[in-house]
Structure 1
Amino acid sequence: MTAPASPSRAPSLVLQIFIGLLLGIALALAWPEAGKAVGLLGTVFISALKAVAPVLVLVLVAASIANHQHGQKTHLRAILMLYVVGTLVAALVGVGASFLFPSQLTLKDVAAAGGSAPSGIGEVLHTLLMQVVDNPVNALLHANYIGLLAWAVGLGLALRHASPATRGVVSDLSAAITWLVRMVIRLAPLGVFGIVASVLAESGLDALKEYIHLLCVLVGAMLFMAFVGNPLIAAVVMRRNPYPLVLRCLRESGVTAFFTRSSAANIPVNMELCRKLGLHEETYSVAIPLGATINMAGAAITISVLTLAAVHTQGIPVDLPTALLLCVIAAIGACGASGVPGGSLLLIPLACSLFNIPNDVAMQVVGVGFVVGVVQDSAETALNSSTDVVFVAAAEHARARG
């Protein structure tokens, strides 16, 4: 019996986005008027993101907390601490890179969008408190991500005591929302095409230079974290030269993750690498899947860098305490990033809300994130996935030492 022919596979999403990027540049240069006209595609894409992002934050975080598994073994505590510290340090690196090499973006109607600059950490904390106690319906209507995050955490904790059937419904709802987000992100090639064509048609090649500068800051911060930040953390824990371990993880895990662009898809690669390194199976079999969910150094860098790009574009001054608070918010947001390509980008409005940046402006920055995401998302995934093995191995070596 002849086997049925395998259906032809469509080009990957990253390739489609890259094609959309090139077509947008070509159209803007060859026919600027048409480039401005197709800007409607970018507007529709950004509007769709604005529609799904608030619901995603509310449902995804609540479901994650509600379905958290009890009874994890205590020897995972050191690994979990490394995951948290690594993500927070990555956010610090992203903030530092943004201040050393500030990025500004060409966005539509930034001046008309308004948004008052906070005078200092006191006003930021006051605004934060008021957003936390916002009505959940009002938070959804006005995209108050801080309020949505607070309600999601509260609902998640309450639902942990619900029946398994109820928690199953919440999990199914989370999966349904994630599916809708995937459908919206499938529009990214058309959205990128419209965004690039309209922006370049109106602003010329200067906007393209802005994208390249932003991408260099993002990738540079991720490289710094991979070759300096992670080795320093591992060295403190292991008390030995960490670079043989770090370089092997980057070579055997990071390279694969760069091309698959999925930490979840790279879990089998990381499990095999842990086996080769001689780590305890009962530890890495739990820690690696967990790390693919919450160990998000690359996402923390993406959120902090793009948020500060919006801040610099708005001309908002940032003091040190507010910058540190941004690091914490970026780290928390990164841990809750959706498991879909570009999921970390949807958490940018959450961080932007600290600076009273309107949702319209924040979502334009998300659109820019999809433009540079052709490279950024691959680098982010490579950093996230390789770091999982680095920290698991570092914790194992520390425990073996005594």
Structure 2
Amino acid sequence: MSKKKFTMPLALKLVVAIILGIIVGQFSFLPDFVFELFKTLSGIFSEFLSWIIPLMIVGLIIPGIAELAEDAGKLLGITLGIAYGSTLIAGTFTYLVASNLFPIFITTDLADKIQSSGKGATALFSIGLEPMFSVTSGIVFAFMVGLGISWLRTQGRGEGLLAIFTDFGKIIDLALQTVVIPLLPVYIFFNFADMSYSGSVFAVMSVFWKVLITAVVLHTIYISAMFLFAGSYGGKNAITLMKNEIPGWLTAAGTQSSAATIPTNVEIAKKNGVSEEIANFVVPLCATIHLAGSMITITSVVTAILLMYGMPISLGTMIAFIMVLGIAMVAAPGAPGGAIMSALPFLPMVGLTESFNQLAISLYITQDSFGTAANVSGDNAIAVMVDTIYQKDKQKEKNKK
């Protein structure tokens, strides 16, 4: 019997990359050329990332909008509304907490220390890879075409066009899975080595673990609130619902994949008394569209970075960012780090340029297991709510007869 090959989770790879980067950056005996080479390679990868982001928007968001926006009945609309509303509430709640809590440990002195640190090494050269079109153009095009295809499908047309963009999305997803995701640990290593070399890394890391703990606590509070509401609305014991969800939470945390947790979560939904038709419909759908946990993590990370670098931050700007991101993350690939990759095109909305991508990715993916676990846990709370609505509607129809 062959032994099962061990595959290191992406989050663990990133932790190792961060630690190694910090250590190597402290090697004062290394010549400057080594760090200049790191900076060059990091810059090339960053250029490729910037180049593929607009293509990612087109390839992933168009099929998502075209398929989800098609009129498929009342239950689809209710599920979409609850899932999107939950994601928005999670993001807004997180911002309100983080914007008041984080300044306690992200002080002005700390922000000044990070900003006044050395600039690190200088790249030897760049390849000058420019995006084929801007992020804004990609967003407008994706929404216009996605909604257009959805309308065409109501007219019995548009399937060919949808197939083209679906296949293009698969090509983009392949590029993410075979190039971007595998190279992320190397990219993170280069960047943390540069931060360590410049002297800013320890100030950043002093914030890192506090943001992680805050995000995990917020996940727990928010998902508990969802189950309390679902239990109250559906006439079920919220504590029992949460206990039943433990296997789903552990599966999601271990795999970092909402898709991989669907079979477990469907069985949990049925155990919670959700009808089979609703469990089979809501759980797989919400695995794609309900991203409250990811939103909590991303909002925490973005707020922390803005404060660390003394950048302006406002409720209005963050809500706009959260609203757009709640839609865009539907395009997140079913792989570790998918949500933050889908969020990168929208970071400029809050003032975070491409130079902050590596820090956002690092902070996010090391917490991705907890965000994914929160996502799928909330899916079953939504299943209880939708099933309650479904059963009430059935009872009304029965009473009319």
TM over 0.5: yes
Distance (whole Å) between structure 1 residues aligned to residue 16 and residue 48 of structure 2: 21
Q: What is the match of residue 293 of structure 1? A: 288
Distance (whole Å) between structure 1 residues aligned to residue 118 and residue 323 of structure 2: 26
1:32, CA displacement in angstroms? 7.2
1:293, CA displacement in angstroms? 0.7
Higher radius of gyration, 1 or 2: 2
1:303 and 1:330 in contact (8 A); partners too: no
Write out per-residue CA displacement over residues 306-332 of structure 1, whole angstroms, 9 at most, x where no aligned residue: 333343345343344334333323323
User: Aligned to 1:185, which of 171, 177, 181?
Assistant: 181
Q: What is the match of residue 373 of structure 2? A: 382
1:234 and 1:394 in contact (8 A); partners too: yes
Relative to structure 1, is the Cα distance of residues 110 and 298 closer, same or farther in structure 2, using a 3 angstrom cutoff? farther
What is the correspondence of 1:240-251 to structure 2 with a 5 Å cutoff? 241-249=237-245, 251=246
What is the correspondence of 1:143-292 to structure 2 with a 5 Å cutoff? 143-145=134-136, 147-160=137-150, 161=152, 162-182=157-177, 183-203=179-199, 204-228=201-225, 230-234=226-230, 237-238=233-234, 241-249=237-245, 251-292=246-287
* TM-score (normalizing by structure 2): 0.79
1:288 and 1:389 in contact (8 A); partners too: yes
What is the correspondence of 1:2-401 to structure 2 with a 5 Å cutoff? 5=2, 8-31=5-28, 33=30, 36-37=35-36, 38-68=38-68, 70=70, 72-100=72-100, 101-102=102-103, 106=114, 141=132, 143-145=134-136, 147-160=137-150, 161=152, 162-182=157-177, 183-203=179-199, 204-228=201-225, 230-234=226-230, 237-238=233-234, 241-249=237-245, 251-355=246-350, 357=351, 359-361=353-355, 364=356, 366-397=357-388, 399-400=390-391
Q: What is the match of residue 131 of structure 1? A: none
1:97 and 1:217 in contact (8 A); partners too: no
Q: What is the match of residue 398 of structure 2? A: none
1:234 and 1:391 in contact (8 A); partners too: yes
2:63 and 2:165 in contact (8 A); partners too: yes
* TM-score (normalizing by structure 1): 0.79
2:51 and 2:131 in contact (8 A); partners too: no
Relative to structure 1, is the Cα distance of residues 284 and 239 closer, same or farther in structure 2, using a 3 angstrom cutoff? closer
Please say which of residues 301-310 and 260-269 is displaced more in the overlay.
301-310
Instruction: For 1:300, give the aligned amino acid.
Output: M
Relative to structure 1, is the Cα distance of residues 108 and 339 closer, same or farther in structure 2, using a 3 angstrom cutoff? farther
Distance (whole Å) between structure 1 residues aligned to residue 242 and residue 7 of structure 2: 35
1:28, CA displacement in angstroms? 2.6
Instruction: For 1:385, give the aligned amino acid.
Output: V
Write out per-residue CA displacement over residues 315-356 of structure 1, whole angstroms, 9 at most, x where no aligned residue: 34334433433332332333333333212212434443334x
1:79, CA displacement in angstroms? 3.0
Q: What is the match of residue 128 of structure 1? A: none
Relative to structure 1, is the Cα distance of residues 208 and 80 closer, same or farther in structure 2, using a 3 angstrom cutoff? same
Q: How many residues align?
A: 365
Distance (whole Å) between structure 1 residues aligned to residue 162 and residue 319 of structure 2: 35
2:329 and 2:343 in contact (8 A); partners too: no
Distance (whole Å) between structure 1 residues aligned to residue 30 and residue 5 of structure 2: 36
Instruction: For 1:150, give the aligned amino acid.
Output: V
Write out per-residue CA displacement over residues 124-178 of structure 1, whole angstroms, 9 at most, x where no aligned residue: xxxxxxxxxxxxxxx9556434x42221011112234244333222211111111
1:96, CA displacement in angstroms? 1.5
1:200 and 1:207 in contact (8 A); partners too: no
Distance (whole Å) between structure 2 residues aligned to residue 343 and residue 108 of structure 1: 33
Where 1:168 maps in the other structure, the secondary structure is helix
1:239, CA displacement in angstroms? 5.6
1:298 and 1:381 in contact (8 A); partners too: yes
Relative to structure 1, is the Cα distance of residues 12 and 154 closer, same or farther in structure 2, using a 3 angstrom cutoff? same
1:236, CA displacement in angstroms? 5.8
Distance (whole Å) between structure 2 residues aligned to residue 50 and residue 107 of structure 1: 24
Relative to structure 1, is the Cα distance of residues 99 and 90 closer, same or farther in structure 2, using a 3 angstrom cutoff? same
Structure 1 alignment gaps of length 5 or more: 112-138
1:299 and 1:337 in contact (8 A); partners too: no
Distance (whole Å) between structure 2 residues aligned to residue 264 and residue 231 of structure 1: 21
Distance (whole Å) between structure 1 residues aligned to residue 335 and residue 172 of structure 2: 11
1:76, CA displacement in angstroms? 4.0
Instruction: For 1:189, give the aligned amino acid.
Output: P
Distance (whole Å) between structure 2 residues aligned to residue 314 and residue 193 of structure 1: 21
